[in-house]
């Protein structure tokens, strides 16, 4: 007889259903092998699938393993918030009343429970490395780049190439040549490209995108927690520590919204989450 476990599909970084970044969450994965988790992740065919396990660290409320269709990640932002949301909804009582501690591949990650159900994770440290290479010119027109800032590789377990552009409009109009972009990503040894640019007005200060090449095709992540955490660390390294709001997913008709807060204890990456599918999965 097949084993049945609870399953949720959560929309992350949006308060509108079907407008954020979807995440599959398997709520009891202790009996699954890594190969079985990988197979399930390939089947869900989402950017990430999260598998909840008993913690091995006494300070953690749970442990999570995060898989893409291609393999396991040590950390990712939207699975962090989506898994915490799913567990709270399922009845998790954390050790602390206003926060959750998640154990994952990069160690312990703190998630703050804010008002009105908003969740925010503390951004892990990032290794920032300036990147100046001729291949940038094969992907970007020089006139759209903000040359007062530095193109940077940010490594947070996932590696992102952060590219400052002059405006949000330039970010939205950006249409890279796929072959050139793939060469750039491989040369920089990064998982994806994050162009970002300022808005002149409105509630959000920056427009960002998360671009990757998978199997020779351009793909765009609707809303990217890890890349936004990398960008927040990038701004902090430049002495910019004012809170700000990000819009992401606009180019693919999503409504992603991310809030970045700089506090004494660290940088918080937050957003709304909601469940769109409740059910069980047969293993």
The residues annotated with a catalytic role in the active site are 48
Structure tokens at 55: 């913690």
Please give the C-alpha separations between residue 271 and each of 91, 115, 121, 194, 240, in angstroms, as whole numbers.
20, 11, 9, 19, 21
Separation of alpha carbons 74 and 122, rounded Å: 15
The three state secondary structure string of the chain is: CCCEEEEEEEEECCCCCCCCEEEEEECCCCCCCHHHHHHHHHHHCCCCEEEEECCCCCCCCEEEEEECCCCEECCCHHHHHHHHHHHHHCCCCCCCCCEEEEEECCEEEEEEECHHHCEEEECCCCEEEECCCCCHHHHCCHHHECCCCCCEEEEECEEEEEEEECCHHHHHHCCCCHHHHHHHHHHHCCCEEEEEEECCCCCCCEEECEEEEECCEEEEECCCHHHHHHHHHHHHHCCCCCCEEEEECHHHCCCEEEEEEEECCEEEEEECEEEEEEEEEEC
Q: Three-state SS for 229?
A: helix
Q: What's phi and psi for 34, nearest 5 deg?
A: -60, -40
Separation of alpha carbons 29 and 45, rounded Å: 18
């Amino acid at each position: 007889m097949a084993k049945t476990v609870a399953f949720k599909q959560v929309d992350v970084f949006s308060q509108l259903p079907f407008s954020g970044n979807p995440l599959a969450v398997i709520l009891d994965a202790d009996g699954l092998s890594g190969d079985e988790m990988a197979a399930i992740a390939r089947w869900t065919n989402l950017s990430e699938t999260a598998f909840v396990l008993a913690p091995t660290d006494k300070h953690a409320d749970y442990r999570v393993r995060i898989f893409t269709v291609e393999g396991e990640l040590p950390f990712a932002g939207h699975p962090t918030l989506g898994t915490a949301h799913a567990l709270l909804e399922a009845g998790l009582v954390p050790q602390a009343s206003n926060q959750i501690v998640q154990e994952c591949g990069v160690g312990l990650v703190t998630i703050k429970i804010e008002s009105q159900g908003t969740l925010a994770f503390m951004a892990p440290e990032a290794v920032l490395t300036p990147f100046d290479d001729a291949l940038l010119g094969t992907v970007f027109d020089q006139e759209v780049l903000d040359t007062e800032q530095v193109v940077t590789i940010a490594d947070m377990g996932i590696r992102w190439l952060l590219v400052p552009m002059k405006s949000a409009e330039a970010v939205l109009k950006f249409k890279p040549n796929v072959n050139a972009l793939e060469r750039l990503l491989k040369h920089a040894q990064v998982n994806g490209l994050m162009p970002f640019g300022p808005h002149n007005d409105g509630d959000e200060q920056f427009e960002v995108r998360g671009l990757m090449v998978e199997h020779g095709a351009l793909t765009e992540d609707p809303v990217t927690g890890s890349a936004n955490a990398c960008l927040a660390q990038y701004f902090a390294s430049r002495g910019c520590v004012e809170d700000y709001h990000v819009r992401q997913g606009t180019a693919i008709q999503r409504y992603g919204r991310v809030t970045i807060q700089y506090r004494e204890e660290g940088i918080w990456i937050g957003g709304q989450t909601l469940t769109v599918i409740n059910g069980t999965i047969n293993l």
